[in-house]
Structure 1
């Protein structure tokens, strides 16, 4: 399924390139208007990220996020600055379908396991976003990709695969916002190694051909932001391409 993304920085619709906060691309459209547009075009779910909260949890605009999720009847998955069970509970209590947990999944995995057990694996999406190294490793930065860590994707996956995680969003940060193509081989490997996880791909999509390539890897969902905002293709075109590429021959 194609899931349109709405990224907010200080409550304004933006897109970042490779996570660089100092050079955002601003879009002259109200977030609720954008959400309603995607709903009209046939979207079933929207991916909403509070970038201010992702960088600094104290800057989260919870009231703004919740107001936005009420602007349509669509399902929402929401992330950015989630640091506690209370944060998750508040979003779920207000009708959010899934909560995206990133930095905490890397810094405090034992606590996140407790959340998975408390709220259910279908309610939490782990955001394990990766930055490639020259020696072939995939490292996991935190705080909206602004703080580097030594944690590796492979060790994190080995841990969470044993505790029943169901949804993982993985973004190759080096591709994000570039429209130069997604990391197809990464998603192919992830789907092969962990077929029971419902993978969400994100980053680098800039053409319908890119969508077809990702659909063929076996991921469950593809999150698309910049290409839709820039009008490279429509949501309907993206969905048709996804369905055609995902359908068995």
Structure 2
């Protein structure tokens, strides 16, 4: 069954909710921000832990976030996943406190060419059960979903499809997929993408898929559950009351998870 998954997005050391499509690789550029928390990252780590929201992730969006990420992870050791700048030289350090590491841009060259050998290296270092592969994507005009890196600004040569999941599942058992074009807009999920995620992975019972982007109602949990036949989990961000939203209550998400147990 589809479950609610929590997130802690960090930008310049603060917990924020950002419109994903406005992030750039330039430090001087200011992304469009929906919410800046008055609470430290550890507050959210404790909140998720106390409500047993399994599989939550801390994402470092750019520099100056390591301290805040460690603070969250150390508040709830081996409970949260961490992503942002993860590579073969630092993954084991982060796994001291994180349940899993989320790897994205390091799997590609600067030009966006996917390097399978890097994922194989990571799997050997960490074990496939402690790696999440981030396949966050943008939709092209011809209706394909292409993995995007560098804060979702660079389209890579890796397309989301059945073949990609079939190949990569040998080295990980979990994928995180932000629909970058709708991330932070609270305008609704990408229903077609959620349906495709089920279609592409329905034969892999042990594979976990987490979708993020556009969720705006507690009913979206039911919608994702229906579209994915319970295969895909859902993250709420800007719409959630703990992040300043007025569309979805954290309490209701926890109640949903309780029913699914």
* Count of matched residue positions in the alignment of Structure 1 and Structure 2: 237
Matched, 1:235 2:250: yes
Higher RCO structure (Cα 8 Å, ≥6 apart): 2
**1:100 counterpart residue number:** 102
Match of 1:14 among 16, 27, 39: 16
Give the 4+ runs in structure 1 shifted more than 4 A. none
**1:113 counterpart residue number:** 120
**1:143 counterpart residue number:** 150
Structure 2 residues without counterparts, runs of 5 or longer: 24-30, 109-113
* 1:11-39 alpha-carbon deviations (Å, 9 max, x no partner): 01111113313212323322222322333
Over the residues paired in the alignment, what is the CA RMSD in angstroms?
A: 2.3
The 5 A counterparts of 1:18-167 are 18-21=20-23, 22-25=31-34, 26-52=36-62, 59=63, 61-73=65-77, 75-82=79-86, 84-92=87-95, 94-106=96-108, 107-154=114-161, 156-161=164-169, 163-167=170-174
Structure 1 residues without counterparts, runs of 5 or longer: 53-58
Determine which structure has the larger helix proportion and give its number. Answer: 1
Task: Compute the displacement of 1:164 (Å).
Answer: 4.2
TM-score normalised per structure 2: 0.81
Stretch of structure 1 that moved more, 31-40 or 208-217: 31-40
TM-score normalised per structure 1: 0.85
